[in-house]
Chains A and B, each alone.
Chain A
Amino acid sequence: NAGVMQNPRHLVRRRGQEARLRCSPMKGHSHVYWYRQLPEEGLKFMVYLQKENIIDESGMPKERFSAEFPKEGPSILRIQQVVRGDSAAYFCASSLGRWGETQYFGPGTRLLVL
């Protein structure tokens, strides 16, 4: 039973490029969460999605960041015009339902902006 999958595991971008991070939830899970962990800091919630819907994006920066979870395929976190401060580990988690459900984390994507 495959867990949460994320790719790529490592991503290097130059300032101004776009970064696309993918997350495939656990089988049967339709709720996806994205978290960011800056160096030496805790994980911070970014966005919560269900299939085709953004439920809570209160943790997303207002500019350059977007997320989607289409009917088919993985969830995508997109960062446009990356800056050095975007360098971080981006973790995706999934759960079976919305309320009171355990979130299972993927291995993360480590983004380095040069």
Chain B
Amino acid sequence: RKEVEQDPGPFNVPEGATVAFNCTYSNSASQSFFWYRQDCRKEPKLLMSVYSSGNEDGRFTAQLNRASQYISLLIRDSKLSDSATYLCVVKVLTGGGNKLTFGTGTQLKVEL
């Protein structure tokens, strides 16, 4: 079983739509959670951290359910520029420090 699992998609949605991505993680010792965005053949960029209380950044809302080991990302009013792969990322703090574990990503295509 993968440590972080995501539906690979692609999700094809019209501009203005609301779309939700889900992610599950297997390591109950995971302590920090993030959504990264990766554009084609480029480096991942931090979109937002995810907290148990839920957090919002403009059109993006992230939720964490520790009991279910489940993370979600909601994008409202999708823009063409939102087209990218969205990576669910968890961090387990170990003696070694700060290692990130990535899901394989969910591809989003926003269309006119």
Give A contacts to B, CB under 8 Å: 31, 33, 35, 40-45, 48, 55-56, 58-59, 89, 91, 93, 95, 98-108, 110
Contact = CB atoms under 8 A, between A and B. Distances in A.
B102 A56 contact: no
Nearest to A58: B96
Contacts of A31: 97-98
B93 interface: yes
B45 interface: yes
Given A107-B42, A108-B43, A43 B102 contact: yes
Contact of A33 (B32, B41, B43, B98): B98
B87 A56 contact: no
Given A55-B96, A98-B97, A105 B102 contact: no
Contacts, number: 63
8 contacts: A42-B103, A43-B44, A56-B96, A56-B99, A58-B99, A101-B98, A107-B42, A107-B43
Given A41-B104, A42-B103, A100-B32, A106 B98 contact: no
B100 A45 contact: yes
Contacts of B41: 89, 110
A103 B100 contact: yes
Q: Taking chain B's interface residues, is the majority helix, strand, or loop, or is none over half, making it mixed?
A: strand
A102 to B, nearest CB: 6
Given A42-B104, A44-B102, A106-B43, 9 more contacts: A33-B100, A42-B4, A43-B100, A48-B99, A55-B97, A56-B97, A95-B98, A100-B93, A100-B98
B80 interface: no
A33 B87 CA distance: 18
Interface of B: 4, 32, 41-46, 87, 93-94, 96-105
A33 B44 CA distance: 13
A102 B46 contact: yes
